[in-house]
Amino acid sequence: MTRLSVNINKIALLRNSRGANIPDVVQFAKDCERYGAQGITVHPRQDERHITRKDVYALKDVVSTEFNIEGYPSPDFLKMVNEVKPTQCTLVPDAPGQLTSDHGWDTIKQQSFLKEVIAELHQNKIRVSLFIDPANNLIEAAKKTGADRIEFYTGPYAEHFNTDKKNAVKDFAAAAKFCSEINIGINAGHDLNLDNLRYFKQNIPQLLEVSIGHALVRDCLYLGLENVIQLYLRELE
């Protein structure tokens, strides 16, 4: 079964908008796990507009499933990750101040840099995933960096799903087949939701994990957290 990791950035964003601890990010993470989520994802950014460094350290001792920290591997980010030692670190090529992740790594041009970063994380027994577009040459280069997994940037799939879902998933299915051939694990994330998740999973049967935050939190507003977790898990059966 594909694992569901809940990205709690938007809960932190809501909390930060009032300057207090409501909603409580740590309690929200605990509740996600209690209702069945199999992982917690955070993506701390330099401006700390949602998840803060303090949150990451607080979650370290609370998350009992898989803890996944996403971000650009700057020196301060790597210091934090190596101290927290999450289950997984997902490296994302975000520029400072970027609103959201919207492209994958150029694993060919940045192969040497990524090799060094991944080797450092592996010393602390941290699984490493690279945020990537569905292109075989980039995936092959990702494998050469030593990455354990890739995470498909699924924004284009979500964008075209309602108009032509077969064509929208085609490149991802082909790239997933190549991942299996070279033995690298597959995660996915960005704009996956209750409308498009099941179809993606059906076409990527070897999918190990999805990270979902924005859409899941949106659905919580209407459906309630416990119900939403169960609905997402059902889509991944």
pLDDT over 60 at 186, yes or no: yes
| C-alpha pair distances (Å), 68 with each of 88, 91, 106 | 5, 10, 22
| pLDDT tens profile 100-145 | 656 799 999 999 999 999 999 999 999 999 999 999 999 999 999 9
| 70 annotated active-site | yes
Contact in structure between 33 and 3 (CB atoms under 8 Å): no
List 33, 66, 70, 209, catalytic entry: 70
pLDDT over 60 at 98, yes or no: no
Q: Of 70, 201, 197, which Cα lies nearest the Cα of 129?
A: 70
More confident residue, 98 or 30: 30
Predicted local confidence at residue 102, as pLDDT: 62
List 33, 66, 190, 235, catalytic entry: 190
| 103 annotated active-site | no
Token pair listed for 58: 């607080």
Predicted local confidence at residue 52, as pLDDT: 96
Q: Of 219, 199, 223, 221, which Cα lies nearest the Cα of 210?
A: 199
Report the chain's mean pLDDT, rounded to a whole number: 95
From the options 3.30.930.10, 3.90.700.10, 1.20.1050.10, 3.20.20.70, give the CATH code of 3-235: 3.20.20.70
Token pair listed for 85: 């030692």
Domain segments of the chain as ranges? 3-235
Q: Of 72, 127, 114, which Cα lies nearest the Cα of 97?
A: 72
> pTM, whole model, 2 decimals?
0.92
- Label residue 70 by pLDDT band (50, 70, 90): very high
- Percent share of the chain, pLDDT over 70: 97
- Label residue 9 by pLDDT band (50, 70, 90): very high
Predicted local confidence at residue 19, as pLDDT: 86
List 43, 50, 66, 151, catalytic entry: 43
